[in-house]
Amino acid sequence: MRSGVYPQSLLDALAGAPDAPAFEHGSRVLTRAELLDLVGRFRGGLRAAGLGRGSGLGVSTAVTPDAFALHLAALTLGCRVLGLRPGLSATQLPAALAGLDALVIDHTTDTPDLRTAAGEVQFLCLGPDLLGGYEEPVATGDPADVALLILTSGSTGTPKRAALTYGALTTQWSWNPETWTAPAIRLAEAFRRFLLFGTLSSAVMQEFLGLCLCSGGTAVIPQGLPDFPSVIEDLRITASMLTVPRLHHVLDTLRTKEVDLGTLRALIVSGSPLAPHRLTEAYQRIGPAIHQAYGQTEVGLLALLTPTDVAAHPETIRSVGKPYPAVTLEIRDPQHNPVPAGTSGEIWVRAAYQTVGYWDDPGQTGEILQDGWLRTRDLGRLDENGYLYLTGRARDVVIVNAIIHYAGAIEQALASHPDVDQAYVVGAPDERTGEAAHAFVVPVRGRVPDLAELRARVAAELGAAAVPATIAVRESVPVAPSGKPDKRALLTELPRQ
């Protein structure tokens, strides 16, 4: 008897069109029936390895149809699944792997650091040896049990493990076609050929992979690292997701190279703030496929800015769109009281599919969850039409002479200069002021920003005390494994006092 619990809705969608392609990986095309067969055989293999309801299973593999089938198999058994993304350091791995019963690897991920960090955890290799006797893939997880542990970016240190229950994920918007609202239906129609790359551990990639497969689309996995933007033309991609640094690369390429992006219907940009002038350029060079998404590991998609929004209200190009249906969002002051439209404050959200907290970390959980609401620790404001504008991170501050300055506000002031393409601000200890702000700017190609003008712009918008102690011009900024600009790496470039 089918329970209806996560991920049963996807299993049902796959069974409903058995001959349609689910994955295309190079020359290999896997139908939905073949994917379900793999899920059933991996389910038998995992059970033979002693795994079942409540077992902690880590997965560290390349992006392949087999790896996704393994994920689904573990979830049908009621396991607690943790996806490991590439790039975790030897010091981050032990905390990420703590409490696991088994770890699935492949030839691309089997490293000494991983084996050392895993300790006595049982190792399983993705491949024929893990395929057991076929068991019908039916979801059997308990709604109260944790289904997924999603690692946060680790931008503030060791990544935390956001816990999402089977019950919460059963209500997740993208995996449930019967609950799709008009915005979801419009997005789903664009996901005929979804470019899948990077890592299956990404919460946002899983979110939109579910949208693709539940809507009858095909997940297309490139051979090797995708060459953007040419991969879109070569594989006839209709939908993809990009981080902001990768979009910058795409736009830079399109200035000098013609690429046919005519198949593209939805390009979703997320992960970090995107400057309005870059979004404008994206519309000019790529067209109305561009969507800007705002979300968090702990809950998924929170707001979406669509081409329709920008066409109807051009000023919203500075926003991240309206809160997504099923998401309740409030802007609150430091005392946690809601503030009126137009007033900046911290963004609080509530959704049925949000995290129940950080695994084995009640202290951090208590900081972000209060009375059913989730603190994003992001700052923003809502306009009178309900569009959300981000203004910074609540914890991304520089305290100069005991006065708090938000890095995001300084970055926006710098990036508003016509000669500046990107701006990033970090804080560092200072003997005279306690902390000092240091800025790094990437200029518009062919231009040289006048540093005095940049300082004057910050002073005019935010006051003289917010002017960075130093401003460095560089061709690009380092990117962390999460795909976000790496501010920790920028800190190491500052001169020691």
Whether residue 6 is predicted with pLDDT greater than 50 in this model: the reply is: yes
Whether residue 436 is predicted with pLDDT greater than 70 in this model: the reply is: yes
pLDDT on residue 156? 54
Higher pLDDT, 465 or 6: 6
Whether residue 495 is predicted with pLDDT greater than 70 in this model: the reply is: no
pLDDT on residue 1? 39
Q: How confident is the model at residue 397 (pLDDT cuts 50, 70, 90)?
A: confident
The 10s digit of each residue's pLDDT in 128-164 is 999 999 999 999 999 999 999 999 876 556 789 999 9
The 10s digit of each residue's pLDDT in 34-47 is 999 999 999 999 99
Whether residue 380 is predicted with pLDDT greater than 90 in this model: the reply is: yes
Find all residues with CB under 8 Å of 96, minimum gap 6, and list them: 58, 82, 84, 88, 117, 151, 159, 161
Higher pLDDT, 440 or 434: 440
pLDDT on residue 90? 86
Whether residue 103 is predicted with pLDDT greater than 90 in this model: the reply is: yes
Query: Quick one: DSSP state of residue 487?
Result: H
Q: Which stretch of 49-63, 143-157, 353-367 has the lowest confidence by average pLDDT? A: 143-157
- CA–CA gap between residue 73 and residue 42 (Å, rounded): 6
Q: Under a CB-based contact definition with an 8 Å cutoff, are residues 290 and 279 in contact?
A: yes
The 10s digit of each residue's pLDDT in 264-308 is 999 999 987 788 889 999 999 999 999 999 999 999 999 999 999
Whether residue 409 is predicted with pLDDT greater than 90 in this model: the reply is: no
Domains and CATH numbers, the chain: 8-170 (3.40.50.12780), 397-491 (3.30.300.30)
Backbone dihedral angles phi then psi of residue 283, each to the nearest 5 degrees: -65, -40
pLDDT on residue 496? 61
If you average pLDDT over every residue of the chain, what do you get? 92
